[in-house]
């Protein structure tokens, strides 16, 4: 478990005094954002959700899935993008009746590829019966879809 952020803010309440509205300190509010990473495990996720609901707080949670080795997936995507560019260039060259020469340049935009899938669109409050000791959540994440782009420029003859 890692802390991503921890913020403390003042909370004020308005009140009316002598036909004028004023504010006074009502207290403090904090926000503690944590991240727990583990391999897909419904029982473990159920235990964590139970631990969050067993206390007096009503936390908001966000569940998301990602790939275990993003760099490997990025490299695979990049390889497929280049192979796709080569295949399409060959089809275009053949159709146009020209030959495909040497590669003059390759451009890769280095954009961020998102390998995250969230089964729920927003953070949600955790509401579960307090009598449960744990729950084995049978949640299977959907396939994570991603694409990448590469631009290849060839000589034609």
Query: Count H helices, E strands: the chain?
Result: 2, 8
pLDDT tens, 33-79? 999 889 888 888 888 888 887 878 878 888 888 888 888 988 998 99
What is the Rg, in whole angstroms, of the alpha carbon atoms belonging to the chain? 26
pLDDT tens, 68-85? 888 898 899 899 999 999
- What is the percentage of the chain residues whose pLDDT exceeds 70? 87
Give bridge partners of residue 107 from the DSSP assignment.
Answer: 151
Domains and CATH numbers, the chain: 36-156 (3.30.110)
Give the Cα separation of 21 and 123 in Å (integer). 35
pLDDT bracket for residue 135 (50, 70, 90)? low
What pTM was estimated for this model as a whole? Answer: 0.57
DSSP state string for 82-109:
HHHHHHHHHHHHHHHT--EEEEEEEE--
CA nearest to 112, candidates 66, 141, 81, 149: 149
The single residue listed with the structure tokens 């004028």 is 20
Range name among 2-11, 88-97, 104-113, 134-143 with the lowest pLDDT average: 134-143
């Amino acid at each position: 478990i890692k802390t991503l952020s921890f913020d403390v803010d003042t909370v004020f309440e308005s009140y009316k005094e002598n036909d004028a509205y004023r504010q006074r300190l009502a207290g403090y509010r904090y926000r503690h954002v944590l991240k727990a990473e583990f391999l897909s495990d419904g029982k473990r996720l159920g235990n964590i959700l139970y631990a969050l609901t067993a206390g007096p707080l009503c936390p908001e949670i966000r569940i998301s899935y990602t790939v275990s080795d993003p760099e490997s997936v990025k490299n695979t995507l990049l390889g497929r993008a280049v192979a796709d560019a080569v295949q399409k260039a060959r089809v275009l060259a053949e159709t146009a009746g020209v030959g495909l020469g040497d590669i003059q340049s390759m451009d890769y935009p280095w954009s961020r590829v998102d390998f995250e899938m969230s089964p729920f669109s927003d953070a949600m409050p955790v509401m579960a019966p307090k009598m449960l000791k744990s729950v084995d959540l049978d949640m299977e994440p959907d396939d994570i879809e991603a694409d990448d782009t590469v631009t290849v420029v060839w000589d034609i003859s």
